[in-house]
Amino acid sequence: MCKINANSFKLTLVLLTSLSLLSGCAAVVVGGAAAGAVVAGHDRRTTGTMVEDKSIQLKAMQAINEAAGDDPNVHVAPVSYNNRVLLIGQAPSRQMRSDIVQNVKNIEKVKQVHNEILLTGPSTMLQRSTDSWITTRIKSEMAVTKDFNFTRVKVTTENGIVYLMGIVRPQEEQIAVDIARHVKGVKKVVKIFEYDRS
């Protein structure tokens, strides 16, 4: 029987997550289809809502592209969780930002839009790489934290600001925030949680 210590597990998780981020997938990859089943089993969203979130995210990307056209100064990404959409990134004008937000609000099943789009030029590749690394570090720390289910918290980083989404209990919220705050490079932690009252 093979024993894996915490440091080896953490390094493996970081490497796998980095590979998934490089391939354009923001989910933590731990073990293929089995990992997907484990995540789904612990997620407090219904299976239907999880499917809707994937659909909303795709539709939101299309809505952003429709509003932005070919403008190279727009760099906006949507993150959907429990039918609530977080918009992060940069736009060159208030009008462009407003058009993007309105397009996303008009998507069927979207309950709420959290607008975190900054009025500035697009972030650099270096900043985006740093953001991906911060997200990976936070996820890996969450994964090895005792009595904490990291699959219940969605972590997104933009320009050093960490956004935490999920359906959590107060203790889970505190653990997630504490982990995120102590990762090097984090400027601020923004909580966009819903609360499990069961």
CA angle centred on 94, ends 90 and 99, rounded to 5°? 85
What's the pTM value of the predicted model, to 2 decimals? 0.79
Cβ neighbours of residue 124 closer than 8 Å, sequence gap 6 or more: none
pLDDT in tens, 78-115: 999 999 999 999 999 999 999 999 999 999 999 999 99
The pLDDT value given to residue 45? 95
100 neighbors 86 (Cβ within 8 angstroms): no
At residue 40, the pLDDT reads 53
Rg of the chain, C-alpha, whole Å? 17
Going from N- to C-terminal start, the domains of the chain cover 6-42+125-195, 47-119
Question: Residue written as tokens 């998934």?
Answer: 20
Separation of alpha carbons 89 and 73, rounded Å: 10
CATH number, domain 47-119, options 2.60.120, 1.10.3470, 3.30.70, 3.30.1340: 3.30.1340
pLDDT by 10-residue block (mean), the chain, 198 residues: 46 46 39 45 88 98 96 97 98 98 98 97 96 98 95 97 97 97 98 89
Q: What is the pLDDT of residue 197?
A: 77
Query: Closest Cα to residue 100, out of 70, 57, 63, 55?
Result: 63
Give pLDDT, residue 155: 98
